[in-house]
A and B are shown apart, each in its own frame.
Chain A
Amino acid sequence: MSEYGNNKEQSWLSAVIDNELSESEMLHVSHQIGKDQDLKETLVRYQLISDSLRGEEINLSSMDLVSAVNQRLASEPTVLAPGKSRMRMPKWVQPVAGTALAASVAAVGILLGPQFINGTQMQTPASSGLQVVAQPVGEVTPAPTLVVQKENHWKTIEGKTRTRLDRYLEQHSQYAAPGGVQGVMPYTSFVGYGEPQK
């Protein structure tokens, strides 16, 4: 794609953000985007602005592209401003593009916080996989307490019957779920099954 991109493709991006494409158009555009890094980055910029203007959280899954966006912003501060290019801009971009873009990038920094900006994350008990029970202030207990996890299991039963019901549940997931709405996630109840407390 050229620096300002193909107008038609950028119009698609705008329509994507405005949710104006049909399903088939969306599929086509997605394939185009999958092949074109510039288009991806442009879409990220559009999406950041859109989220910012709507007061929504910035999509953190796009953050791996933020540095690239920042670099582009440094060299092209008015890249989204409607001017010589006749490309269609999303409805929400047109009046406030420059300000919004700056605001959205600032918002990214705020949302990410110092741990990401500094390139390291603080290691907390929660992030290390431990469940922490809150303790009252003033009664400090140094070590976090692991709580017993409540698991999902049959509300009964002696071992042999439980084994049989496990097998039935698995078979029900496989054979029966495609006939109904459980087929959306057919093995969920099976995977969610836990060993009963002993």
Chain B
Amino acid sequence: MLFCLSGIGLASANNGNDAAVQWLEKMNLAVTSMNYEGHFVYQCGDSLEAMHLRHHIGEDGPRESLSSLTGVPREVMRDSESITIITNRNGKLQISQQPAAGKFSPLKSIRPEKLLQNYRIALGGIMRIAGRPGVTINLMPNDDLRYGYRLTLDKMSALPLDLMVLDREGVIQSRIMFTDLKITDVDLLSLHHPDEEDKEAAKSLMLAKLGAGAGSPAPVAKRAALPQAKPEDAAWKFPSLPTGFSLIDYQKSPHTGLEHFVFSDGLATVSAYLEPLDNDKAFEGNTNLGSVRVFGRRLKNYQLTIVGEVPQKTLELLATSIQYHEP
């Protein structure tokens, strides 16, 4: 199972938690194994965006396309091999591609016993989203270092229909809500013809609208993925992490010196970047993109930037905990 539910973890959970965790497990399987397509709105701060998602299981594995329907045309296509980003800004088409690093599995690192240390998990009521009945799962934080989540999963398929990120006062920080969802191989509510759609699923919607043929209409900028590295080899250490968070990933570029630390508490993830500054002016302070918050400061001749959908306090705790050790 992608979502490792150990017997030990389940034994310690009560029935309500147990059922909610099982729904999360179903979601994890559904997101990666089903063919589906739909439109959703993304509420982020005071902006509202509409997007289109297609997920298709082909002969070569899963393939996904996420494209914006508002604002700057932008599309991200990913499969097990690569991630392609297509942007059309003011008529100028830009295509970049890099090897895929992450897996499709959304909750791969979550363990119930860890989850329950940081969140209270409970089944909520039945909601109707995108015309479909959904089961609501509430994941509320035990402290003020992380946000809460309210997930509504399609009752029939367990695919997510609605995902809210909430602060401690219950104010929505961001929200993804489907307005329609078609499940092309398992959808028994919205029938259509999967064979025909399968052929189209591998193509870029944006390029198709531009009338692009088989070849790429713009040069594809190939970019290298950040190589994995051993955290013990890093000169920068985070000896006192915010409660519940642990280091789950680390990459370092041999060319630019950029280091990327990834921390997770099981649901929320935070990235810490360290990059040599040269003569650049450092970014110090904070900013945000909706609920994605950023905190920056200069450390020696490095730019430290911490990015995550967590409260500002958590970013600042991480920023103050970092220490430099001569290798």
Known: A152-B49, A157-B283, A191-B76. A174 touches B83 (CB 8 A): yes
Complex Cα distance, B191 from A40, in Å, reads 7
Contact at B287–A157, with CB atoms within 8 Å? yes
Q: Chain A residues with Cβ under 8 A from B288's Cβ?
A: 154-155
Q: Is A3 an interface residue (CB 8 A)?
A: no
Contact at A29–B188, with CB atoms within 8 Å? yes
Q: Is B224 an interface residue (CB 8 A)?
A: no
Q: Chain B residues with Cβ under 8 A from A185's Cβ?
A: 40, 53, 66, 160, 163, 176
Q: Is A187 an interface residue (CB 8 A)?
A: yes
Q: Is A23 an interface residue (CB 8 A)?
A: yes
Q: Is B226 an interface residue (CB 8 A)?
A: yes
Interface string of A18-39 (1 = CB under 8 A from B): 0100010011011101100000
Q: Is B68 an interface residue (CB 8 A)?
A: yes
B residues 162-176 in Cβ contact with A at 8 Å: 163, 174, 176
Q: Chain A residues with Cβ under 8 A from B107's Cβ?
A: 180-181, 183
Q: Chain B residues with Cβ under 8 A from A171's Cβ?
A: 226, 260, 271, 273
Q: Is A108 an interface residue (CB 8 A)?
A: no
Taking the nearest CB of chain A, how far is it from the CB of B156, in angstroms?
7
A residues 149-164 in Cβ contact with B at 8 Å: 149-158, 160-161, 164
Complex Cα distance, B102 from A176, in Å, reads 8
Contact at B49–A27, with CB atoms within 8 Å? no
Q: Chain A residues with Cβ under 8 A from B72's Cβ?
A: 151, 193-195
| A contact residues vs B (CB 8 Å cutoff) | 16, 19, 23, 26-27, 29-31, 33-34, 40, 43-44, 47, 56-57, 59, 61-62, 64-65, 149-158, 160-161, 164-165, 168-172, 174-195
20 pairs, CB–CB < 8 Å, chain A vs chain B: A29-B188, A40-B191, A47-B188, A61-B180, A62-B190, A151-B72, A152-B47, A156-B287, A158-B281, A160-B281, A165-B283, A165-B289, A177-B102, A182-B309, A183-B108, A184-B27, A188-B176, A191-B67, A191-B68, A195-B71
